[in-house]
Amino acid sequence: MAFIPVSDTAQVRIEGRVDNQQTINDLYFRHSTGAIAQADIQALASAMATWYGGSMCPLLNEAWQGVATHARDLSSELGFVADQSMVGTNGTVTGEAAPNNCTMSVSIRSAFPGRSFRGRNYVPVLTNSQVTGNNIDADWAQSVVDAYALLLFGGGALPGGWVWVVVSRFSGGLPRPDGVFSEVFSVRVVDLVVDSQRRRLPGRGK
C-alpha cells in the first residue's frame, strides 16, 4: 500500500506481549508548532512510555510485558522515527489473567461525527477479578478512561506542542491523497461487555 502522508503528525505504536503474543495499540499526535524534528519524535516516544508505564500498567495484569513505544513522523515517507524501550515495564495487577482475546474497547472521539473522526484502542489484558460473567467492572473501566484522559489537552502527559488527534487515511474505502486529522476531545467506554481480539490468542498472531 502506498504511503499516505499526514502533515506534522506522528504515530506512536505501543507494543507489548501477553503469553508470548504481541499486543499493539496505535495513537496519533499533531505537532502544533510546525515541522517535526528528531528531538520532538524522541521526546514523544519517551513521554508515551512514561505515561503507559505510570498510568496504564498499574491497571493491567502482571502477565502483560512491555516491549517498546515506536514513534514515527508521518509527514513524509522518510520522516523521523524513534523507539523507547519498555522492557521491564510490566502490568502490576496480580491474579489470573483472562484469556488473551478478552479485552475492553476504549473509544477515542473528536468533535465530528463519522468513522473517519473517531478511533479506538483495545486494552491488552484483563484480570479475571475485573470480569463478572460477560461484564467488566465499572470502576476499573473508569480508571482506564481516566488514564487515557491524561493525553487530552491539559492532561499533562504529553510534551509541549503535541496534541492528541484521530487520523483518517481512507474515505469511502478509498485512500485519501493526504491523511486528515482531528483533535481528540473525549475518551469513553461505550459499554462494559467484554470485547474480543482473536489475533491475540496463542497461535493466531505474532
Exposure string for 174-184, b = 16+ CB within 10 A, e = fewer: eeeeebbbbbb
Is 83 a member of any domain?
yes
| pLDDT tier, 202 (very low <50, low <70, confident <90, very high otherwise) | low
Exposure of 133 by Cβ count < 10 A (0-12 exposed, 13-18 middle, 19+ buried)?
exposed
pLDDT tens string 170-189: 888 888 999 899 999 999 99
Whether 1 is in a domain gets the answer no
Residue 155 lies in a domain: yes
Q: Please write the tens of the pLDDT for every residue from 89-127.
A: 999 999 999 999 999 999 999 988 888 889 999 999 999
pLDDT single digits (tens) 23-71: 999 999 999 998 999 999 999 999 999 999 999 999 999 999 999 999 9
- Average pLDDT estimate for 192-199: 87
Q: What pLDDT score was predicted for residue 76?
A: 94
What pLDDT was estimated at residue 21?
A: 92
The pTM of the whole model exceeds 0.75: yes
pLDDT greater than 60 at residue 205? no
Q: What stretch of H or E contains 82?
A: strand 81-85
What is the secondary structure of 87-147 as a DSSP string? TT-B--B-SPBPPTTEE-EEEEE-SS-SGGGEEEEE-S--BGGGEETTEE-HHHHHHHHHH
**Is residue 191 classed as helix, strand or coil in its secondary structure?**
coil
Tell me, what's the pLDDT at 203? Answer: 62
**Residue 21: inside a domain, yes or no?**
yes
The answer to the question of residue 24 being in a domain is yes
Q: Has residue 38 been placed in a domain?
A: yes
In a domain, 206, yes or no: no
Grid cell 482531528 is found at 182
| Domain extent at residue 162 | 9-200
Instruction: Report how far residue 146's alpha carbon sits from residue 168's, in angstroms, rounded to the nearest whole number.
Output: 25
CA–CA separation, 177 and 170 (whole Å)? 9
- Counting the structural domains of the chain, the total is 1
Query: What is the reported pLDDT for 111?
Result: 85
Span 15-35, pLDDT tens digits: 999 998 999 999 999 999 989
Question: Does residue 3 belong to any structural domain of this protein?
Answer: no
Q: How confident is the model at residue 1 (pLDDT cuts 50, 70, 90)?
A: low
Express as a percent the part of the chain with pLDDT over 90: 83
